[in-house]
Structure 1
Amino acid sequence: MTQTQTPARVLVLGGTRWLGRRIALGHVDRGAEVTCLARGEGGSVPEGARLLAGDRATEGAYAGLDGDWDEVIDVTRLPRHAAGALDALADRAAHWTFVSSVSAQRLEGAPIGADEHDELVPEDASGDEYGGAKAWIERVARERLGERLAIVRPGLIGGPGDESGRFGYWVSRLALAKDGPVLMPARDQATQTIDVRDLTTFLVADAPRRNGVVNAVGVERRLHALIELAREIAGHTGALVRASDEQLGSLGIGHWAGERALPLTLPAEVASHAQRSSARYLAAGGAHRPLRDTLEAVLRDERALGLDRASPHRLSRADELAAIHSLPSKA
């Protein structure tokens, strides 16, 4: 533990978009004086927070930040941004929370139930490799801040406000299809998603009182069970058309994310990436809300954004139907 009181003066490096904005709002709601350092082009800061417009890629980006900070939160994936912030602010921060990622840990070869001690991927100071960049930032921040640092590694984040649509794909696709067919993988597999609201609560209420590393991952669930619950919520009455990994591969349909991908799916050889332990997160004060709550909130968002909107993170309905029609009738 590094401090016991609620932070009074908080700096969010970002704060105008999804997770960063929710973090800023969470601290505002707890009565903190909140400043967000951001370019201000991706959105607005929440009411009650102050925006200091600045580009972290430029010299002097931190010049307008005066005084000391009870809590600094950085969500960056870019090593040069993290290094610049540490140079400018480390000596003026009572506590620092870096939002890393479980992608900083190895993808292949991880045991089922791997925890915070599992191996990290090779570091990448260039920022080209997402996981490697997060691993580099973790080490540099730890060297600079020591016991004043909490590292929180989320898994896949879902919930209201997620414009990527990765987690929202299944419930929105089932709602869009109505009584039409929906393509799904024949192989059941593990999946883990943490609701952004649960993650935000942990980052605001619990992380500032801690040091060390916490993997903030969701409950391990089976994808087929998630799809069945999403189907109920969406009111889907059509067929679920199952395709093997081999069939999906022959159709050019991949895993996880991409214009021709089925979100939340993983290749069999790296399935344990979605089977990580959440024990430390729960012991540290974290929580998991019911999956139904998350799916219902996400469906409301998806309807507002447009169920059939184009997305670079998921298979389009037209491509899905073409794939279904090309499968053998008994697939």
Structure 2
Amino acid sequence: MADMQRRVLVLGGTRWLGRAIAEGHVERGAEVTCLARGASGPVPEGARLVVGDRDADDAYRGLDGDWDEIVDVTRLPAHARSALDALGDRARHWTFVSSVSAQRLEGAPVGADEDDELVPEDETGEDYGGAKAWIERTARERLGERLAIVRPGLIGGPGDESDRFGYWVSRLALAGDGPVLVPARDMPTQTIDVRDLTAFLVDVAPMRRDVVNAVGADDALHALIAAAREVAGHTGELVEAGDDDLERLEIGSWAGPRALPLVLPAGVASHAQRSSARYRAAGGEHRPRRAMLEDVLADERARGLDRPSAHRLSRADELAAIDSLASKA
């Protein structure tokens, strides 16, 4: 069936990844419908919005006919269950966007692939990874060979609301010739650009019937920081803090109001060393690190380098930590 005839339903479609998926299908000529409350923003131009609250019993009543492709990005088992009940028999193919968090965090070997064990399921939705694992199994039982499961790793790129990947290039640009706090311990890191992930979900996933871990290229945090420093034009000092120093200063890891994004505890470093072999073999791409950093910096500047964030260490707290390290020396 030609793209112009394809009917695509995106459950969501008004925010970052879901909106990008809807937009990608529109660009390829599909007839795209987005089911959403409409409270998070508009759907892409060319897509049709059907207003529906997935917490309501009648969420799907505005949807008619069958679908060549249904895409669901939900993290809530109740939403996934109701969608499968209402639409499972009306989809030629279904893509569920899961997460590598559905697989074990501790004890995973370096280079773990799609077959590494899953975390315990959580039907309540309280545990993110467990909820995704529950949805994976339930969707597989309901849809069989009509299902593709794509598990992204950390997603970055323009428009990222998680404030993780963009932190380093943003902070280095903000600091200019001032100091920037960095972890003394190097560690692996992987981030997939939202544009690369979207292309895979739109062009490749509808033809898959398996599980693919869509993770970024292997990288090291110190190398990423060095590249970000060059892109940002930072000329100030990099102030290293060891794990003990960061703990004493109550600076956390990964994400949070006092966190250094992308920093992982040593015991779970392999979480950022998952295999992308199946993703790449299927046609998935990784754009060059520098190009991604340049685009992200432009986006960070547009949104404000020193904007308040609940997911990253503030500049004021960072400078206070640097002063504390200096006084201890």
- TM-score bucket (shorter structure): over 0.9
> Following the alignment from structure 1 to structure 2, what is the Cα–Cα distance between the partners of residues 31 and 252?
51
Secondary structure at the counterpart of residue 98 of structure 1: strand
Does 2:245 match 1:253?
no
Q: TM-score, normalised by structure 1?
A: 0.98
CA deviation after TM superposition for structure 1 residue 164, in Å: 2.2
> Following the alignment from structure 1 to structure 2, what is the Cα–Cα distance between the partners of residues 268 and 307?
29
- Aligned residue for 1:326? 324
Map 1:81-230 to 2 at 5 A. Answer: 81-230=79-228
Secondary structure at the counterpart of residue 35 of structure 1: strand
- 1:163-210 CA-partner distances (Å, limit 9, x unpaired): 221110000000000000000000000000000000000000000001
Q: Which amino acid aligns with 2:153?
A: G
Identify which range, 45-54 or 7-16, moves more after superposition. 7-16
> Following the alignment from structure 2 to structure 1, what is the Cα–Cα distance between the partners of residues 328 and 296?
32
Query: Identity, % of aligned pairs?
Result: 77
> Following the alignment from structure 1 to structure 2, what is the Cα–Cα distance between the partners of residues 173 and 45?
31
Q: Which amino acid aligns with 2:246?
A: L
Q: TM-score, normalised by structure 2?
A: 0.98
> Following the alignment from structure 2 to structure 1, what is the Cα–Cα distance between the partners of residues 297 and 37?
30
Specify every segment of 5 or more residues in structure 2 that has no aligned partner in the other structure, as ranges. none
- 1:127-156 CA-partner distances (Å, limit 9, x unpaired): 000000000000000000000000000000
- Aligned residue for 1:265? 263
> Following the alignment from structure 1 to structure 2, what is the Cα–Cα distance between the partners of residues 177 and 186?
19
CA deviation after TM superposition for structure 1 residue 5, in Å: 6.2
CA RMSD of aligned residues (A): 1.1
> Following the alignment from structure 1 to structure 2, what is the Cα–Cα distance between the partners of residues 8 and 210?
16
Secondary structure at the counterpart of residue 204 of structure 2: helix
Does 2:298 match 1:300?
yes
2:73 aligned to 72, 75, 79, which one? 75
- Aligned residue for 1:310? 308
> Following the alignment from structure 1 to structure 2, what is the Cα–Cα distance between the partners of residues 328 and 179?
17
1:18 aligned to 16, 19, 27, which one? 16
Aligned residues: 328
Q: Which amino acid aligns with 2:152?
A: P
Specify every segment of 5 or more residues in structure 1 that has no aligned partner in the other structure, as ranges. none
